[in-house]
Structure 1
Amino acid sequence: MIRTSTGCRPTRREFLKAAGGLAVLGLAGESIVDPGTQLACAAEEKNRGPRMKLSLSVRVAEAFGSKEKSSLTIDQLIQLAKLHGYEALCMRGSQAGIHSPAEKVREMSEKIRAAGLVVSMVTGDFAVPRNDEHGPDGLRNITPYLDLAEAFGADLIRICMKKEEDIPWAKKASDEARERKIRLAHQSHCGSLFETVDGSLRVLKAVGRQNFGIIYEPANWLIAGQDYRSQTIRELKPYIFNVYVQNHRLRTGGEAAINTWTRGKVELDHIGLWEKGGVDFVDVFRGLHEIGYRGYVTVHQAFAGIMPIETAVKRSADALRPLIHAREG
């Protein structure tokens, strides 16, 4: 059977190209695929759906400086997602995490499913989004996070890595996650091993697990002075498990500041996805279309205290929809 370089079933175009080469060489046969590759292939098949899918992070109801409190209930977030055409929720500790009673998680999961939504990913604690020294702790004991993901019917968990010593733990956690058909991913994020493009690629290759990848998020790389555009997306193709979108405009004297390892403190303004002067989303989605990405695009911006949440959720979806559908037809 013909397979891609990752060991997965090819698209029709890939099949025809490969078949021609095999005919010339006179080669045939069935490849043997290990369980890790099977899991990666399942994710790749999911990403070959008809189009990218919109996901709403529950972070939209968090204040920028707080990861623990939400201004909306899960019922309100479900209603917002349904009203504005999102297909999934991205869950965080502000709604439910490994600290939550199992019954609460079960009830939330049932509400989400009953609304016709799914959970695209879970972030199981507060330390991961805070990106502090305790962020990588979950890698040392991934089991509760796997339990949480299963309870929500999700196959993707966000993790955090700060030091080289986190790499072997990421390998171990990925191996345990693979046994339960769950993937792990790290966001491109300032102040982490994924602050730079080169650093991210190095760690992805060092971990070397089919179920370990990246949450591509261009705004953090904009802040860190990285080239986040199409060429980078092409380099990351085998590793992109999810896409986060938020937007900032870099400005001296801006309303907020982010600490980076490579550029020090960077001042900026928080702006909507639809506003100019921040991330070049036209080029970002050009790159995503070029690599055939068909996974979730997650609105991942904290709007509480910045602009009305419902307005931001609606305008974000309205801005993203034409970009998602740009190559259809």
Structure 2
Amino acid sequence: MKFAAFSGVFIDHSIQEAMQLTKRLGMDGIEIAVREPHLSPATSLPRVKEMKTLADSLGLEIPALAGYMGGFSTASDIEAEKAFDDFKRMLPIADELGASMIRVMPGGPNAFLAHDYHFAKAAHWLDKCAAEAEALGIRIVLEIHNLSLVETVDSSLRLLGLLKHDNVGMIHDAGNMYITDTDYGRDSVDKLGKHLFHVHVKDERRIEKAGEPGTFVNLTHRGEESFLQSRLGEGEADHQPLFDALLDKGYKDWVTLECHAPFPAYERLEHDLRFIKNMLGRMSR
């Protein structure tokens, strides 16, 4: 497996600083958040070339661009067209950076509240994105995420089953899946099968009430629930079954660490990378 830092963890730093901190951590690459001050559809080509030059000089790969464009399922036609235009503007940027994946957001609502037309509309626009990306050999990744159509493996496969293109797949995210209260262990990996393109890692914990730093409220099938963003091993999302399954599957692709716990950015990623490497070390013995 190869490990990347999510640049969004370092959003208070410039992208140059984020890359340098990622290198200091000993990561293999950096997944760049498509959010200023790091990157956007309006980023100029000279600036993109500068990012690529710095990444190459540091020996960092850029496996994916974490886009926020999309929301197709609930967007108006005008909004959907704008999101599609933003996506198309990201394609040459991804190509220049050597990123083989771009994250797109299909939209909501929660899968258990969604109707057929939400899935149909998202599929229509995702197929348009996929057709554009295919020419450059770029894959689209949808993150299994609470508050979205793809908040479980089953709802993800439902949406993928409506697509005409096969260069669209899923980001497995155990932290998000813990929030949704759906399986995120071996069964989830097995059911995704060939549709598992990428992995995100973070931890969360249910709490009585939000309000403190690192807490938030989310709608789940249980109703409004409160959560605390946590470092690995300090929350309640057990990643051991996930990594057991990934190793058994022979997964050799990217795992992006994106901890948002209320600790300094470098410290939380350093903790999570150490936790995973210790876990993998125990598994190999």
Contact 1:215 1:242 in 2 (8 A): yes
The answer to whether 1:231 aligns with 2:187 is: yes
- SS of residue matched to 1:283: helix
* Residues 92-103 of structure 1 aligned to structure 2 (within 5 Å): 92=33, 93-94=35-36, 95-103=38-46
Contact 1:60 1:301 in 2 (8 A): yes
Distance (whole Å) between structure 1 residues aligned to residue 80 and residue 260 of structure 2: 19
Contact 2:133 2:140 in 1 (8 A): yes
- Superposed CA offset, 1:221-260 (max 9, x none): 1111111111111111211111001111011214423433
- SS of residue matched to 2:162: helix
Shift of 1:264: 3.3
Matched letter for residue 91 of structure 2: L
Contact 2:141 2:170 in 1 (8 A): yes
Shift of 1:197: 2.2
Matched letter for residue 144 of structure 2: S
Distance (whole Å) between structure 2 residues aligned to residue 158 and residue 135 of structure 1: 16
Distance (whole Å) between structure 2 residues aligned to residue 197 and residue 217 of structure 1: 11
Distance (whole Å) between structure 1 residues aligned to residue 218 and residue 186 of structure 2: 25
The answer to whether 1:280 aligns with 2:276 is: no
Matched with 2:110 is none
The answer to whether 1:265 aligns with 2:214 is: no
Distance (whole Å) between structure 2 residues aligned to residue 132 and residue 102 of structure 1: 32
Distance (whole Å) between structure 1 residues aligned to residue 148 and residue 276 of structure 2: 28
Matched letter for residue 302 of structure 1: H
- Structure 1 pair 128–246 and aligned structure 2 pair: CA distance change class (3 A): farther
- Structure 1 pair 218–149 and aligned structure 2 pair: CA distance change class (3 A): same
Choose from 275, 280, 301 the match for 2:259: 301
TM (norm. structure 1) is 0.74
Contact 2:41 2:87 in 1 (8 A): no
- SS of residue matched to 1:142: helix
- SS of residue matched to 1:180: coil
What is the total number of aligned residue pairs between the two structures? 265
The answer to whether 1:210 aligns with 2:155 is: no
- Superposed CA offset, 1:162-218 (max 9, x none): 232010221121122111100001000111111122111111222253211001101
Contact 1:273 1:316 in 2 (8 A): yes
The answer to whether 1:108 aligns with 2:51 is: yes
The answer to whether 1:222 aligns with 2:171 is: no
The answer to whether 1:146 aligns with 2:104 is: no
- Structure 1 pair 310–132 and aligned structure 2 pair: CA distance change class (3 A): farther
The answer to whether 1:118 aligns with 2:70 is: no
* Residues 109-258 of structure 1 aligned to structure 2 (within 5 Å): 109-124=52-67, 126-127=68-69, 133=75, 138-139=83-84, 142-162=87-107, 163-164=118-119, 165-254=121-210, 255=212, 256-258=215-217
Contact 1:127 1:135 in 2 (8 A): no
- Superposed CA offset, 1:7-61 (max 9, x none): xxxxxxxxxxxxxxxxxxxxxxxxxxxxxxxxxxxxxxxxxxxxx1110001112
Any unmatched runs of 5+ in structure 2? Answer: 108-117
- Superposed CA offset, 1:269-297 (max 9, x none): 1110132x411111111121122211111
Matched letter for residue 286 of structure 1: D
Matched with 2:6 is 57
Contact 1:259 1:266 in 2 (8 A): yes
Higher relative contact order (CA 8 A, sep 6+): 1
Matched letter for residue 86 of structure 1: M
- SS of residue matched to 1:118: coil
- Superposed CA offset, 1:83-109 (max 9, x none): 221000000123012122222121111
Any unmatched runs of 5+ in structure 1? Answer: 1-51, 62-69
Matched with 1:290 is 248
Distance (whole Å) between structure 2 residues aligned to residue 138 and residue 149 of structure 1: 16
The answer to whether 1:74 aligns with 2:23 is: no
Matched with 1:64 is none
Distance (whole Å) between structure 2 residues aligned to residue 265 and residue 135 of structure 1: 28
- Structure 1 pair 202–140 and aligned structure 2 pair: CA distance change class (3 A): farther
Distance (whole Å) between structure 2 residues aligned to residue 309 and residue 106 of structure 1: 26
TM (norm. structure 2) is 0.85
- SS of residue matched to 2:208: coil
- SS of residue matched to 1:98: coil
Q: What RMSD over aligned residues (CA atoms) do the two structures have, in Å? A: 2.4
